[in-house]
Amino acid sequence: MAGSLNELNQPTPYKIHIDDELLDLTKKKLQLARFPEEQIDIGDDDWSQGAKVKVARINAEFNQFKVKVDVPDYGHQVFHYAHHISSHSDAIPLLFVQGWPGSFLEARKIIEPLTNPPDASTQAFHLVVPSIPGFGPGDPAKKSGFGPQLTARGFKKVMVDVLGYDRFVMQGGDWGSMITRSMAFQYPEHVRACHHNMFTCLPPPWFKAPFALGRLILSPYLYSKRELRSLQKMQKYQKEQDGYLRIQSTRPQSLGFGLGDSPIGLLGWLVEKLHDWMDIAHYEMPDNDVLTFVMMHWMQGATPGFRYYKMGFGEAGEGGLSDLFTRYLDTPIGLSHFPEEIAMPPKDWVGLVANVQFRREHDRGGHFAAVECPELFVQDLRDWFSSDVVKGAMQGEK
């Protein structure tokens, strides 16, 4: 039975609605936009100075709901989520959590194959895709401090208290990787296994893992080609591409005055990330999908998505990001490594902080794997979550 957002734990059906007034304002701003002139020696394929802009249109098809829950140590918060129920009797509840600059729409291509696989012998899932508060139609947090820890508590409320999934598995990339790891730490009785296509941890300290540190020092000689390329990619990201992270995690509201008021500015800010983080040699995002991504942040004025970085990196102590990056997680973990992913540390780094039971390397794909190569992504989820390790965990073995 549909509920009201005045009540707790009662889902209310929801459809994305973009106000005509906002669309009219966006069109006017686009008509008045001034584009930066390219220098004559910068080619069309040279993104070293930033974005090249394409324009597109929006379209979204999900079974959507909103629900108000009482988040521990915070209070009431409204969450947006999509919920697709499989007809298969052995389907496993799966929470799919995205990151920035994406949104819940990253799950579009994987809904059907995950919920309705081609035959009865293939693992199926009840798929739940929540929006991080302030991303897309997700209501932004009204008070400060709402980072991954509180998001994890809210998502647990949605999965357990609202939808009744007592035991479930999770998939996380980008911020979703950190939110799902936080959920696994806080609620091990409910979270039985995780899968990540991005995994963040710190370099091994000498006093904890001298051999891993020595291997890092001698990485040109001891790392595999795959590990060496991933390390170089992480180093390039830190040197050339994380300027957005610095400003969004320190002064997000100042940035919002400009990009939250300029559709062209926001498009440039986000499309650069799509270009740099995708495997553009194997996938080019269609124009309408580009605008879909951008519109999910434009509809909120962009600032809530920026602000999540300040809330996330502002979390300190137990459960904060530094703690997540260094504390060992006993929950069974599966990893999929796509070559253009911006963060997938060497195996011995990850092994210090995660109980990795499944790992698969691919020869194409990037940061948005569910969008870029959904068939590979879906197969990894099926294989990992149908394994004996996960089956045992779902039955109570861990």
Instruction: Tell me the mean pLDDT per 10 residues along the chain, length 398.
Output: 77 77 71 51 54 34 89 95 94 96 93 93 96 90 92 97 97 96 96 96 80 84 87 87 92 91 89 93 90 85 92 81 89 96 88 95 96 98 97 83
| pTM for this prediction | 0.86
User: Can you give the pLDDT at residue 33?
Assistant: 54
User: Can you give the pLDDT at residue 60?
Assistant: 39
CA gap 90, 255 in Å, rounded: 47
User: Which class for 98: exposed (0-12), middle (13-18), buried (19 or more C-beta within 10 A)?
Assistant: buried
User: Can you give the pLDDT at residue 63?
Assistant: 86
User: Can you give the pLDDT at residue 29?
Assistant: 67
User: Can you give the pLDDT at residue 43?
Assistant: 60
User: Can you give the pLDDT at residue 82?
Assistant: 94
HSE-CB at 142 with a 13 A cutoff on CA atoms is: 7
- Which has the closest alpha carbon to 73: 3, 155, 159, 150? 150
The amino acid sitting at 352 is: L
User: Can you give the pLDDT at residue 207?
Assistant: 78
**Inter-residue contact 269 to 100 (CB < 8 Å):** no
CA gap 327, 350 in Å, rounded: 11
